[in-house]
Every structure is written in structure tokens, then in C-alpha cells.
Chain A
Amino acid sequence: MNRTVNIISKNFKKYNPESIEEYLELGGFEALKKAIEMGPQEIISTLKTSGLKGRGGAAFSTGRKWEYSANVKGDKKFIICNADEGEPATFKDRYLLEYDPFKVIEGMIIAAYTTGSTDGYIYIREEYKYLHNKVRKAIELAEKHGFLGKNILGSGLNFNIKVVSGAGAYVCGESTALIESIEGKSGRPRLKLTRTSKQGLFGLPTLVNNVETLAAVPPILEMGVEEYIKYGTHTSKGTKLISLCGNVNKPGAYEVPFGITLREIIYDIGGGIKDGKQLKFLQLGGASGAIIPAKLIDIKYCYEDLEEHGASVGSGAILVADETNKVTHFLKSVQDFFIHESCGKCTPCREGNRQLTKIINRFVTGNASVEDLKTVEKFANVMKYASFCGLGQTAPTALLTAIKYFPVEFYQQIDRIRKTS
């Protein structure tokens, strides 16, 4: 039984994404009209009730975030839709931009209305270049139909959206790094002495939200929050877009209710492991996510249960690895990613990644020493606690959880004769 749902992904492949008329026929922009009737206060309390949390991975309460932004006064305020989606194994935002761009735009307009924002940016990663002009055209169409521009639907809201391209840097998914890049600088995370909601892009009030977060708002308003929270668990309400990939038969982006088990996701939705192999482990939330062994497959996919086991929902990526994969070798792919993407500014991440790469390479070739295991764990923790931004803090997560759940794999790669330096 396939427990996928169609709330956020309701319109996927159901209309021509280049036609705003078809979007309108499917009930498009009704949520915006409803939002204008509700007014900012009610929208915020609705979002709080919905339990919607940031879908890029940070999982901060969207209702509270919009509330902070709404309370900041400013003649010019920004909304940034973070479509950088650099997290490996994640592609759900791509689906949203490709199959339902108007929904994302609608979500942004509702956010602008709620927070009193004037200018919007959709920051799309360079690797999705083939979508940039499509999204630009969708914006143009929205403008033509009066959903963007001045006094939108008579609400008094003046709001415009621009598409900005990324340039190949995972770290620009971090909101201050993203802002630096829009300001024409290298995308190195900024020190946040003041909240971005007060001082963000160009020093002005800025709200940064993930694509899915914004796309979830119109359906919640449209169907009503009471209906929405019927899905999910007590503390993880509603539904989530997951990116299922790896050694499964049916990789793809699916929408699931929180509380579904991992087993159901992999076998019912994903069609099970390719070539009849056995499941060995999962990585949840992308390269920065925890590694979960197959034996935990019956836990529920929701924030609280995952946290209990040292994992998190993150971006919603679910990577499936079968028995042919050695954990140490898999970790090399994660480590290669982070050493490539580290911005280099802070010592723990730059030097930590440098050292972790050396040691993990030794585990891969079977030349590791006994001290290597201690060293790699020590410095993984230094990175976790001392790094300047989320990249460095979460880069060692996979390694630390792998050591916890698959210690034997590490011991097997230790060359007992070898001593370190």
C-alpha cells in the first residue's frame, strides 16, 4: 500500500507549468485571495498551528519566523526563496520549480503580504540553469495577471520577484552566504550580530525560506489548517516532500505524511532494493545527515523519533544503500563532498575537513591505525562544536553516526601493524 499524499505536490504533472491559465483552473491563487481576507495575524497563527517548520533543513517554526519578520518595520523588506538545493540526494525543490512554479510564487506573495515585504528574490542554483528562464516566464505571467506588481488584488501590497542565479557553491544554501552572493561577494557565511529578519540583504529586513516551505503555505490555507494537521504525528504535523534515491527501484520525489515508517517509504513507495539486494543503511537528510542502520527501519519518519536516534529530517532526502556498500567507502563520498564545498574561512571546518579526508582515505585503503579512529572522532567533534556555520557543524554527522552504528567496519579497516606518523 502506497501511502503517498497529494497536498503540496497536488499539481505535479497535472498541468502545463508554462500556463498560468491552467494553474488558475486548478484553483491557483485562491489561497492568496483567502490570505488577503485572513490578514497577517491570522495567517501567522494558522502557520503556527500547522506546525510547519523550515523545509530546507533548519526546521525553524515558519509561523514564528514570519512573525519576527512581520514585526520589523521597514520601507524596503526582502523575501528570498532559497532554491539553492545543494544537499546531495535532494531534488524535491527541483520538482516544485519544474512542475508547479506558480505555487512557489503564490507562497512568496502570501509571505510578502504577511510580512509587509516589497521585493522578492528566487535564488536558484546554477545547476538548475535549465529552469531559470521558465521561472522567469512564470513570474512575468503572474505579473501580467495582476498577482505581482502594485496593489496586488487590491490588498495594497506592492511586490516584485526577481530570479538570481547561484554559481556552484553548496555553502550558498546557508542564508547569510546566499545573501553575500546576491550582494556580489564570495558566498562565505556572515557573522550574524543581528537577526537576518532585521538586517539581512543590503542590511535590510530579510526573510529567507526554502522552496518547499513557501510552497506548503497555499495548500495549508486552502484546505484549512485543521484538515492539514490530520496528517502527521502529534509533534510533526502535516506532510513532507521526500527525495528517495540510491539503491531503490523507484527513486523520485514523493509526498508522505509524517509518521510513516522508513520501511513503508523504502518498500511500499520505493519498490524495495534494486536487484533483490539487502538493505544495509540509510542516510537521512543528505550528505550532512545521519547514517541509520537497516535494523532501525521501523522507526517513524518524523522529527521527534528521528532525533531520538541521533538523526533528523533535514532536507527530506532519504538515501538507500544496499549490502554491497562498505560504510567507510561511502563516508569517503561524503567527505570528498564537504572538503570540496567548505568555504575555507574558519579553522575547524577547513582544517578539520582536511584532516578528516586524510584519515578516512586511510580507512578506505585499509591503512588506518588504531589512533586514527580516536583522532577522527575527536576532530569530528571539534568541527561539530566549533565551526562557524552549519556546513562545518553537520559535515561530521555521517561519520559520527557511522562510528556509532557500524564500529566493526572501522575496525576491519585498521592495519594493526601501522602506527600514526
Chain B
Amino acid sequence: MDKFKVDQELIAKIDRILESYDYDDNSVVNILLEIQSHIPENYIPEEVAKYVGIELGIPTSKVYDVITFFSAINDKPKGRHVVQLCKSSVCRLNKYQTIRDVLEEELKIKMGETTKDGQFTLQYSTCFGACDISPAFRIDDKVYGNLTKGKIKEIINTYRGL
């Protein structure tokens, strides 16, 4: 794993988050989710995991267990924006492949890859409860369904800042 530089600013952010949860070790799942959202590469680096473990009094092996168990917490770096396309039963019936093709064309990467500028990661996900607007995808916290090719392009562009 690449060495991640933990700088003072990030430590300060982490300390603030820990403070807001009263350093409660039971809240480690939500704490890690929040810390992850402050890291541009959207993951929990080893050094951060160790630090959180020490501050909360949790053995690093158990922090690692939490990081690797939950799909929403990443142990490997991702793009700034994670585009998740549903591949579960309903979206398969409603032909998720059409959305996939547009996304791959628009972002110029294949499923599972990250754009060279580190802006977007394109990956599959399991059902996130948008079956009534299927086929659907998420970018970060937002869910998008009832899509057309044009709509998808528009959506991506808003994340590009255009």
C-alpha cells in the first residue's frame, strides 16, 4: 500500500470528529464514514486507522475488520467522486447495461477503473433502494434514476464543475 501522508490539518479534522462523538468507541463505524468523507481519495489509510484505534482504545486489527467489512468504507484509494451503478436484480431486469455504456463512454474508463485525473471512480454496487426509478446510479450521496443519455451527461458535468 502506498504511504499516505497524514498532515496536521487532517489530524485536526479527525480530532474534531472524534470529539463530536465523545471519543465513543461504539461509534467507530460512523466515525470512520465521516473521516473518509474528509479524505479526497475516499478511503481510510493505514495510518489513519491506527490513529483512530489508538484514540478510541480499539486494537488496530478490529479497526481493520470494520474497514474491510463494510462496503461504504474503503481500504483502498478511490476517485474524488465514486459513481456506483446498481447491478442487482431489478436494475438487471431494467437493463443496467445501457447506463453502463453511457457512463463508460462519458468518463472514458471501464467499470472498476478510476479516471487519470483522480476525479471519478466507476464501480458496480448492490441494490440501494432506487428500484422504482431503475436503472439507477449513485454519485457520492445522490441517487439518479429515470435516466436518458442526455441526463447522464448533464449529471456528470455538474460534478465536473461545468
A, B assembled together: yes
Given contacts A85-B129, A90-B129, A126-B72, contact A181 B92 (CB under 8 A): no
Q: Are B88 and A167 in contact (CB under 8 A)?
A: no
Bound together, the chains give a CA A86 to CA B129 distance in angstroms of 7
Q: Are B143 and A186 in contact (CB under 8 A)?
A: no
Instruction: Flag A45-86 by CB within 8 Å of B: 1 or 0 each.
Output: 000000000000000000000000000000000000000011
Q: Are A330 and B26 in contact (CB under 8 A)?
A: no
Bound together, the chains give a CA A334 to CA B70 distance in angstroms of 20
Q: In the complex, what residues of A have CB within 8 A of residue B132's CB?
A: 91, 243, 245, 251-253
B69 to chain A, nearest CB (A): 4
- Whether a CB of chain A sits under 8 angstroms from the CB of B138 is yes
- Whether a CB of chain B sits under 8 angstroms from the CB of A32 is no
Q: Are A333 and B87 in contact (CB under 8 A)?
A: yes
Q: Are B66 and A88 in contact (CB under 8 A)?
A: no
Partner of B88, one of A166, A184, A325, A337: A337
Instruction: Flag A154-177 by CB within 8 Å of B: 1 or 0 each.
Output: 000000000011111110000000
- Whether a CB of chain B sits under 8 angstroms from the CB of A298 is no
Q: In the complex, what residues of B have CB within 8 A of residue A251's CB?
A: 131-134
- Whether a CB of chain B sits under 8 angstroms from the CB of A18 is no
Bound together, the chains give a CA A185 to CA B67 distance in angstroms of 10
Partner of A130, one of B25, B131, B141: B141
- Whether a CB of chain A sits under 8 angstroms from the CB of B159 is no
- Whether a CB of chain B sits under 8 angstroms from the CB of A302 is no
Bound together, the chains give a CA A247 to CA B134 distance in angstroms of 10
Q: Are A245 and B29 in contact (CB under 8 A)?
A: no
Q: Are B129 and A94 in contact (CB under 8 A)?
A: yes
Q: Are B29 and A167 in contact (CB under 8 A)?
A: yes
Instruction: Flag B1-39 by CB within 8 Å of A: 1 or 0 each.
Output: 000000000000000000000000111111011000000
Q: Are B141 and A88 in contact (CB under 8 A)?
A: no
Residues of A within 8 A of B (CB-CB), count? 53
Q: Are A90 and B131 in contact (CB under 8 A)?
A: yes
- Whether a CB of chain B sits under 8 angstroms from the CB of A316 is no
- Whether a CB of chain B sits under 8 angstroms from the CB of A377 is no
Q: In the complex, what residues of B have CB within 8 A of residue A231's CB?
A: none
Partner of A91, one of B70, B71, B72, B130: B130
B-side interface residues toward A, CB under 8 Å? 25-30, 32-33, 58, 62, 65-66, 69-73, 87-90, 92-94, 126-134, 138, 141-143
A–B complex contacts, Cβ < 8 Å, 10 sampled: A130-B142, A167-B72, A168-B73, A183-B26, A187-B70, A188-B69, A243-B131, A245-B90, A252-B132, A322-B93
- Beyond known contacts A85-B129, A169-B69, A333-B92: 20 more, CB 8 A cutoff: A89-B131, A90-B131, A91-B129, A91-B132, A125-B129, A127-B143, A128-B129, A130-B141, A164-B30, A170-B126, A185-B65, A186-B69, A246-B93, A247-B93, A251-B134, A317-B131, A319-B89, A320-B93, A322-B93, A334-B89
A-side interface residues toward B, CB under 8 Å? 85-91, 94, 125-130, 164-170, 181-188, 202, 243, 245-247, 251-253, 283, 287, 317, 319-322, 325, 330, 333-334, 336-337, 340-341, 343
* In the A-B complex, the 6 residue pairs with the closest CB atoms: A168-B71, A168-B72, A167-B70, A186-B69, A127-B128, A88-B127
